[in-house]
Amino acid sequence: MSAEPATETAQRLKLSEVFLSLQGEARSAGLPTVFVRLTGCPLRCRYCDTAYAFYGGQWADIDAIVAQVRAYGVPNVCVTGGEPLAQKRCITLLDKLLEAGLTVSLETSGAIDIGPVDVRVSRVVDIKTPDSGESTQNLWSNMALLTAHDQLKFVICSEQDYLWAKAQLVEHGLSARCEVLFSPSYGQIAPRQLAEWIIADRLPVRFQMQLHKQLWGEEQGR
């Protein structure tokens, strides 16, 4: 990520895009939602579908971002990346979106402390499985910070991933902390196969597929 101009203050963020779509995942799937995609991510997951947000982007004033979100006229906004928490001023953005009366969610990798995030934000934490290539980056101390308002997501790439995720579910008592989502990695595992495993094991998780990819494939800004 390029350096911020020295003349700027703590009210700017590096922004990749802002767009209106349907939420494709988690509890609010199917709802019209404004997505604010911040630039940059310290992880390199093998299945990442937003690598274009690793670099580039434009500096944007946080108040201008909030105004742009409000102009779409829908109550739901999702701050995503990349890894949005890699920019510390993301917390300011989340606070100002809440102050604007919006329903706010945050998609985060789980590799960065979620403690500073207001608990009114629905924090969707993506636990990295072995086949993501980034499972050593999981910050397990985040689990103690979760509330019923939050959600955990596992992107399952293989049977190995499924067995690993099932073990974490038990070891950390995850389903007692918040809703847990198991999602098949797009193009890597048959959704039906994952569904069958969940049913056979009676897992207390929600099966989900990425609605936006069913509708628009890999199209950017969807």
User: Model-level pTM greater than 0.85?
Assistant: yes
pLDDT tens column, 129-165: 999 999 999 999 999 999 999 999 999 999 999 999 9
152 within a domain of the structure (yes/no): yes
Kindly state whether residue 2 falls inside one of the protein's structural domains: no
Tell me: the pLDDT tens digits for 77-113? 999 999 999 999 999 999 999 999 999 999 999 899 9
Q: Are 26 and 124 in contact (CB under 8 A)?
A: yes
- 6: in domain: no
pLDDT band at 7 (very low <50, low <70, confident <90, very high): very low
Provide the token pair at 50. 């937003």
Q: Could you count the other beta carbons within 10 Å of the beta carbon of residue 187?
A: 10
- How many independent structural domains does the chain possess? 1
Q: Which domain range does residue 198 map to?
A: 12-216
Taking the C-alpha atoms of residue 82 and residue 61, their distance in angstroms, rounded to an integer, is 19
CATH number at residue 134: 3.20.20.70
